[in-house]
Structure 1
Amino acid sequence: MKQITAGDYAPDFVLKDNRGQDVKLSDYRGKKVLLSWHPLAWTKVCAEQMKSLEANYAEMEKFNTVPLGLSVDAYPSKNAWAKELEITRTKLPADFWPHGQVAQTYGLFRDGEGFSERANVLIDEAGKVLWVKIYPIPELPDINEVLAEIRR
């Protein structure tokens, strides 16, 4: 699949979040959405990435932005992980089955490893992609860079 880029329209999806609730991208029209992809729950850098979303949730809300933390993990695992990390506001959608289908649609699935890239995709109020950044798997995304893109 072609990797999503700025200017593309973000493909819609429905995934279960860590609480087992449906998350439909198009339900957020009128708000910006940050899709923050992390390879796998229960790993150090992924935990720090999701905790940074939670810690900056109110700041993102000020700029009409909803952060979503996506990975290929099953939602019961993501729920236990969110409780462990004390993530209460940020939804963590599970791109579990069909395995990594949304990551594949966005061109962010790593076939060899069976998980997504570590990436941030910022979508505008109309569903158009504003910004995409892919990070080396061991690198923690700079939340200040992410917030700067949201504030633009």
Structure 2
Amino acid sequence: MNASIAIGNEVPDFTLKDNNNVDVSLSQYRGKKVLMSWHPLAWTPVCTDQMRALERNLQRFVKENTIPLGFSVDPQPCKEIWANALKITNIKLLADFWPHGKVAMDYGIFNDRDGISQRANFIVDEKGILKWYKIYPSAELPDIEEIFDILKSI
């Protein structure tokens, strides 16, 4: 499956609740790059490692003028409890819960059979243009160093 947005095109805006029950819109980050890091479900080992890698590397993201955001179709209360359990305090974990998986659908990474998103990373530039994306096998942890190599090249 490929993302439904081509490299070089503007990505759709969205507003989702984060783990703190705050509305987050992509458009609020204009002027910064955004890493949209999708994981299938909270509370699973690879998803946990993926979100912890974002948290651990926050200062590196700041140096690259990048906001990392974590996404899944889990409901907001689940994201809140999960973030607390993982001690994720700086990264926003967004709930694409209702309408169920709408943002994942808009980006072409919703898995209809399982009702979850694929594991994927999207990098959006300061103007809201898709610069890079990669869809991963469900069991594969995205390589954080690959993300930083891409960010440095944009």
TM-score interval for Structure 1 and Structure 2 normalised by the shorter chain: over 0.9
Paired position in structure 1 for 2:111 = 110
Instruction: Report the aligned-residue RMSD.
Output: 1.1
Partner of 1:91: 92
Aligned residues: 152
On the 8 A contact 1:5/1:132 being kept in 2, the answer is no
Aligned to 2:125: 124
Q: Hey, what's the Cα distance between the residues in 2 that align with 1:48 and 1:106?
A: 23
1:146 corresponds to 2:151: no
- SS for the counterpart of 2:108 is coil
Alignment-mate amino acid for residue 68 of structure 1: L
Quote the offset at 1:150 in angstroms.
1.1
**1:6 Cα deviation (Å)?**
1.4
Q: TM-score, normalised by structure 1?
A: 0.98
Q: What aligned pairs does 1:17-96 form with structure 2 within 5 A after superposition?
A: 17-96=18-97
CA offset digits 1:22-61 (Å, max 9, x no partner): 0010010000000000000000000000000000111001
Counterpart check, 1:133 vs 2:134: yes
User: Partner amino acid for 2:139?
Assistant: P
Specify the code of the residue in structure 2 equivalent to 1:54.
Answer: E
Q: Which residue does the alignment assign to 1:101?
A: 102
Q: What is the TM-score with the length of structure 2 in the denominator?
A: 0.96
Structure 2 unaligned residues grouped into runs of 5+: none
On the 8 A contact 1:109/1:117 being kept in 2, the answer is yes
Identity of aligned residues (%): 56
Gaps of 5+ in 1: none
Q: By how many angstroms is 1:2 displaced? A: 6.0
Amino acid of the structure 1 residue aligned with 2:148 = L
Secondary structure of the corresponding residue to residue 92 of structure 1: strand
C-alpha distance in 2, partners of 1:145/1:13? 26
1:5 deviates by 2.9
1:37–1:70 contact (8 Å) kept in structure 2: yes
What is the aligned partner in structure 1 of residue 9 from structure 2?
8
CA distance in 1 between partners of 2:124 and 2:100 (Å): 23
